[in-house]
Chain A
Amino acid sequence: MKYKDYYSILGVDRKASADDIKRAYRKLARKYHPDVSKEPNAEEKFKEVAEAYETLKDPEKRAAFDQLGSFQPGQDFRPPPDWWKQFAEAQPGFEQHAFEDIDLADLFAGLTGRGGQRARGRSGVIPGQDYEVAVQITLEQAYHGAELDLDLSLPEYDESGMPRRVPRTLKVRIPRGAVDGQKLRLPGKGGKGVNGGRDGDVYLNIVLAPHPLFRVSGHDVYLDLPLAPWEAVLGTTVRMPTPGGPVDIKVPPNTAAGRQLRLGGRGLPKPHGAAGDLYAIAQIAVPATVTERERELMQQLAAASTFNPRQHFEEGT
C-alpha cells in the first residue's frame, strides 16, 4: 500500500485543529473543484484534497490515520499489526493479506468512523458508486461514431471485505453526433451494488479535440475558405473539405471577406437524424510574391477601377 500524507495534501500541520482542517479544505476545494475550477489538473487535485478531508474531518478516521505512522508520500508501507484490531475489526489473519493493490482511500472509505465498524459489514442496500470520466474524441469520431477502449480502476471487495482496485477495460461505442460537453451514460458499468443495490453508472464527459481545419460550435462546423482576389470578384467553384468528405461549392461573384457561405446539414450529425450546418468563411488571400505579368495586370486594374473600399470614411467626416 502506498502512503499518502493527508496533512501535507491539505497544507496543514499534524496538530491542526478541526477548524483549521475544514478551512484548508474549503480553500482548496474552491480552487480545484472540477465544477467551478479552470485550473489544469483540477479534477485530479480535487480528488486528492477530498480524499484527505474525508479522512481527517472524522475524528475516528483521523486517529486511525495518525496510528498508521508517518512515511514519505508514495512509500510502500503496512499498517501496524494491532491497527486492524483497533480500527477495522479484522477477521483472524486479516493483517496477513497482501496490501500492494489496496488504495489508502478505499481502506478509509471502508471504515465508517465513530466506532470503527467496517462499512462492508453493514446490512442494507448500498447502491454502487457512479463514476465520471472525461473522454476525448476527434471530429472524425464525432462524425462517424467510434469504438474506444476505456481503462478504469474501480474498487471491488474481496470475500473478507478488503477493498481492492481492479483494473477494467470497457470497450465503448460512442454514437455518432456526440459533441463537446455532451454527457453519455454507461448504465450499470460503475461500482457494484451491495445487498441488492443497483450497480453504479459511468458517465462520459465528451471533449472534442481541436481540429487543424474545422472549428466546432455545437453541431455547426466553421471553416476558413481562402479565395484569391479575382476568385472573390468573379465567383468560382471550389472543392472544399467537410467532415463528411470533400464537396464542390459555388462561390458567388463579389464575395466579400468574412462572408459566410452556409452548407445546410453538412456539419456534425445530431443524435436523432438531423445535422448541424457547415459555414465556410470567405477570406481574401493575396500571393506573397507576384510575377511581372501579374503586377502589370494589377496596375492596369488599379488604373481602370473606380472602386473605393474606404468610401465610408469620407461619408463619415
Chain B
Amino acid sequence: MNIELTEATWIEDVGEISLARLAELSGLEEVRLRELVDYGALTPVDPGATFWTFRAECVVTARTACRLFNDFELEPHGLALVLTLLERIRELQTELKRLHAELPS
C-alpha cells in the first residue's frame, strides 16, 4: 500500500493570523478570545489595531485555553489566570532543564 508522505509544518511559519482564523484553529469563540486579550492571557500584534492579528504561536495558547474552558468550565478571569500560571510553569521548566543540562551527569 502506498502511503502518502505528509509534511509536518511549523506552527509559526504561518506568520500572523486573524482573530477569526485563531477562533477556527483553536475552537474558542471570538468572544472568548477577546476576553483572554482583555485579561492579558493573549496579546495581539497591535492591540490598538481595528482588526486584531496574532502571532501564529498564539494557536498553542488558544488551544490550551479551549481545552481548559471546555473541560473545567472556567470563567474568563480564572481561565486567564490558569493560562498565565501555566506559561510561568513552562518558563520555569525550561530554565530548570537548562540548569540540569549544565550539570555534569
Contact = CB atoms under 8 A, between A and B. Distances in A.
A171 B6 contact: yes
Interface in B13-36: 13, 24-25, 27
B5 A35 contact: no
Contacts of B9: 184-187
Contact of A216 (B6, B10, B24, B101): B101
Interface in A104-144: 127, 130
B35 to A, nearest CB: 18
A217 interface: yes
Interface in B69-100: 71-72, 82, 86, 90, 94, 97-98, 100
B8 A185 contact: yes
Interface stretch (A70-78, A84-92, A95-103, A197-205): A197-205
A149 B8 CA distance: 12
Contacts of B12: 271
B49 interface: no
Interface string A174-188: 110010110111110
A283 B104 contact: yes
Contact of B7 (A29, A36, A173, A181): A173
Contact of A35 (B6, B64, B102): B64
Majority secondary structure of chain A interface residues (helix, strand, loop or mixed): strand
A175 B27 contact: no
A260 B102 contact: yes
A45 interface: no
Contacts of B105: 215, 224
A67 interface: no
A36 B10 contact: no
A222 interface: yes
Given A35-B86, A224-B105, A198 B6 contact: no
A132 to B, nearest CB: 8
Given A215-B101, A222-B101, A224-B105, A271 B10 contact: yes
A258 interface: yes
A33 interface: yes
A241 to B, nearest CB: 15
A178 B13 CA distance: 13
Q: Which of B3, B10, B24 has the most CB of A within 10 A?
A: B10
A204 B3 CA distance: 19
A220 B101 contact: yes
A26 B13 CA distance: 37
B98 A183 contact: no
A68 B41 CA distance: 44
Interface string A208-235: 0000000111101010100000000000
A175 B6 CA distance: 11
A48 B105 CA distance: 38
A182 B10 CA distance: 9
Contacts of B94: 181, 217-218
A260 B101 CA distance: 12
A26 B68 CA distance: 12
A172 B25 CA distance: 21
18 contacts: A35-B64, A35-B86, A147-B5, A170-B6, A171-B4, A173-B5, A174-B8, A175-B10, A184-B9, A187-B9, A201-B25, A215-B100, A215-B105, A217-B98, A217-B100, A222-B102, A271-B12, A279-B102
The 6 closest A-B pairs by CB, nearest first: A184-B8, A215-B101, A217-B98, A217-B101, A222-B101, A171-B3
Interface of B: 3-13, 24-25, 27, 60, 63-64, 67-68, 71-72, 82, 86, 90, 94, 97-98, 100-102, 104-105
Given A204-B8, A281-B102, 9 more contacts: A33-B71, A50-B71, A169-B3, A185-B10, A186-B6, A186-B8, A216-B101, A217-B100, A224-B104
